[in-house]
A and B are shown apart, each in its own frame.
Chain A
Amino acid sequence: MLGTLRKQLKSHPALIPLLFFIGGGAAMSMGYLARLALRNPDVCWDKKNNPEPWTKMDPTHQYKFYAINVDYSKLKKQGPDF
């Protein structure tokens, strides 16, 4: 497959930017799915040992990339301990 790709690119070099953009788009989508799968606290991989991963999070943990209104360093745990 890579052999035919290289031959085609040699005869039509204008296709190279196409590769970059499609490859970049695919990498970004896979990257987003991977971030959701691995970093999202709602996702539970290990039902036996860590069934509720959101309970083990720090109240100042910032999941979003850019925080507009919320000052994450000032957040505290709200409910009582038990």
Chain B
Amino acid sequence: MDPSVGDLNSPHSMGTTIIGVTYNGGVVLGADSRTSTGVYVANRASDKITQLTDNVYVCRSGSAADSQIVSDYVRYFLHQHTIQLGEPATVKVAANLVRLLSYNNKSMLQTGLIIGGWDKYEGGKIYGVPLGGTILEQPFAIGGSGSTYLYGFFDQEWKEGMTKDEAEKLVVKAVSLAIARDGASGGVVRTVIINSDGVTRNFYPGDSLPLWHEELEPQNSLLDILSSSSSEPMVS
């Protein structure tokens, strides 16, 4: 396998940027859409925000296979739990099921997850379950390789008691900033908003996101630039 091609047999790994934020009334989950195998982008439009129940979703990062199998098991258990309980599962129960699987299989799994949802007892809640299976309830959580670029951003921008729109804008801005700097994150920004009214999915394609430092407005072709400008564009 020559070096320039990277390793196409690398395990599928979601470099990823994932975010979960509470606001006054619910939660907003956000993620990028890049799944990479080594240096190749295996899927440029993946959906990393996965449903566990009607009211609880999970953001997946790390190994694609591991995070998918964990979500599948948790969805299965939660389904049974909901039937037995007779009412929607709480976010806390969902998060703890994720924790159980992550903790008890810690030597085999490589996945960091953010669980977010809304239930009638506690309202909107976000739980982080990083590598190792620690569970931490947080007002907001960030994860994945792209999150390293967002610690400073959130330290500055996070506020308690945001509105739904403020929260979603914050999430989109953050994922977009991470995509700008993390090679393992990219594609589109997907968000899922969960509150007492239900669930809303949103999609922000790459070209709708703001431009950051050293990024230029995308053009169709150089020819357009040449034809529209009057002075000497092609100067050596």
A-B interaction: no
